[in-house]
Structure 1
Amino acid sequence: MLRSIQFFTILFLSFNFVFSQDSKTNSFGYWHDPDSWDNGDVPGYIENEITFLEDDSVNIRGKITLNTDLDITNTSMYIHKNDTLVIQGSVNFLDSYMLNEGVIIINGNGLAANSKLSNKGKIVITGNFDGIDNTLEGATGISYVYGYSNSNVGNQGSATECEMNDPHLYHWVRAQMQLLPVELLSFDGLFVSDIYENYIELNWTTIDEKNHDGFMIQRSTNAETWIDIEWVSEKERIENGVNHYVYQDKQFNSQADRYYYRLKQVDLDGRFEIHDIIAVYINIVNTESLAYPVPFNDMLTLEVPPKSSISIYDQSMKKLKTRKNKTQRVKNVLLNTKSWRNGVYVVQIKNKNSTESVKIFKSGRSF
């Protein structure tokens, strides 16, 4: 029996070395964030808020958190010593192999069937655990199941025994159970001044939304006193499992030089989390000096501000010209516009903080 265990372990480690997807040795990372993985490829795929792993091999290093249910089939998983996998959901582990030398937290139910399990670390399952036709190999670790269990993965205890024997682990798991099940990937803002109105556009992306209610957008002028300005629960779109949100704030005083924004993410049960603050600068450019003369005829001069770009569009918003200025000084550009038709054109200036637009006119007469 010992020989077969050693053979399978060697086979597993060899397979793991060649084909595995390894998480980075970070102090913290999210499963569905490409930055959490050495090669940038996130293991598995999401469907109906479930992460599926099929015919795969995964190495967990650092602390990785997964905010969905997890369905594992024909997959090898290795949690390294002193490293942690937190699953904010239930797990199905089918026809697979697991070697745990660290800590696994399953904040939900667990099912393992026809699998080989080697627990040399700690496993906590806050729900129920069902084990069907599994093989235990070198299970010298301990598992705590807070609910019902018909099997074990190593020495097994209850929630009460976890609190008594390992209070640090018990209270840490309790803290994980309180975390909100939404991962914010990005949050940024941009001041926009177009030919019709001025507004601040906020964009943010999330993944792994679970039991999520919505976001309250909060605004401040000093990053200390905050007001609620809008509740957002509808996504703009979903692409490759990433949720995209957009909000346009039109109720602000453009005389201020900047505004601060933050997101208050609210769970279905009313719990909430305040995310990081961003600053949006109100950078109103003197549009009269962007393009001249106005009206223009055969020639047009553009003044491109530092670290900006200027684009010109015709009446159908077809882009005609773009000029970029990567320097720290204003750059003058002279355009031959003799072949352009008379009428209205739109000049748009962009930098990292804002987008502004202004109308200009071409006339057949010289001025």
Structure 2
Amino acid sequence: MASTTSITSNSITITRLPRKEKYYQSSHHIGKVPTSFINPWPSFRKYSPLDILLTSQRDRDYKPVPSRNQLVAIQKPDWGAGKEGLKATWIGHASFLVETSAIEGAERGVRVLFDPLFSERTSPVTWAGPKRYTPTPCRLDELPGVDLVVISHDHYDHMDSDTLSKIYASRKGKVHFLVALGNASRLRGFGIGEKDVTELDWWDGVKVDVPGVASVAMTCTPSQHSSGRGIWDQASTLWCSWVLVAGSLGSTSATSHPSTSEKVFFAGDTGYRYVPKEAKDSDMPHCPAFKDIGEAFGPLSLSLLPIGLYSPRHLLSPVHCNAEDALCLHKDLKSRKSIGMHYGTVRGGISQYFEEVTEPPRRFREVCENDGRIWGEELGLLNVGETLVIP
């Protein structure tokens, strides 16, 4: 990919970097100019609406949400105030605010907001659909001013139109949006200006210069998932994960990733392998993309990994990780520290019949400790609103 530059209205400079051709293949495209996308690996199996319907009618056992004191704790965020280092604050579900370390002479680092979700429902309407059972730890207007909003895919629990529109209205001229192929038109539909959105394919990257703050490199990386906001637009936009690199970028280039850099992997939403009924996880092929990401960027300072909404396993394993999958991701990515997410906030229509909302964090800890990991050091969880600081 040729290096080109576009400048947003606030003079944030977006410079396209050469694609990582060693890892890139266009096998996820349908059509030379892609009109839809696929997961190109044996680790994926596509399920149909009939699969969902039949499964949802069998072995139903509604799992009520327990009382608040049995759920993930909530605390008022301080965004790591007064602390030095890479900061990551969990806002709930897959929403994180990441702030890089401040460079010499700057008052703060670059603030990157991943998959922000502040609405009560993950639905096209406000009166129906999955409703959050854990509130946000703060109001949207209490967020520190963000420089980048980064979206993994267009599902309602990751691309929340109301939240994105409000961020744009309050930060217009001071914020830029990064999305995967096909999603720029989604954001335009929310009223976000075309010049304030950059669209990337897997393994494409950009260098983002925030005046008076710092530079970061953002790379759109693969994930195993799906997309669509309705019946007729399934797989019409691309899904992805992201890698953020900050620190030792140099003044002109962000193509190399020295070990002194701060490197954050954001999984968004992903599966690791399809596991049919009666099969063992270890017998099934796993998605090879994460070892590629680990090779290209590892060791990673921090990985934000999904651990919930995986049941029923035979149906959701292609697109959602359980605890065992998340641990495999951690290893494939060569991550120094990983934090679980995508649980404890909202659940899909089918998971309420198969998965206790308190199961994912408990299971994640058990799986990690059984693997000999020291809980809270290499792997762990956060309270909603809690900030992890990596010096």
The TM-score by the shorter chain falls in which range?
A: under 0.3
Structure with bigger gyration radius? 1
Select the structure that is richer in helix.
2
Structure number with greater CO (CA < 8 Å, separation at least 6) is 2
TM-score normalised by L of structure 1: 0.24
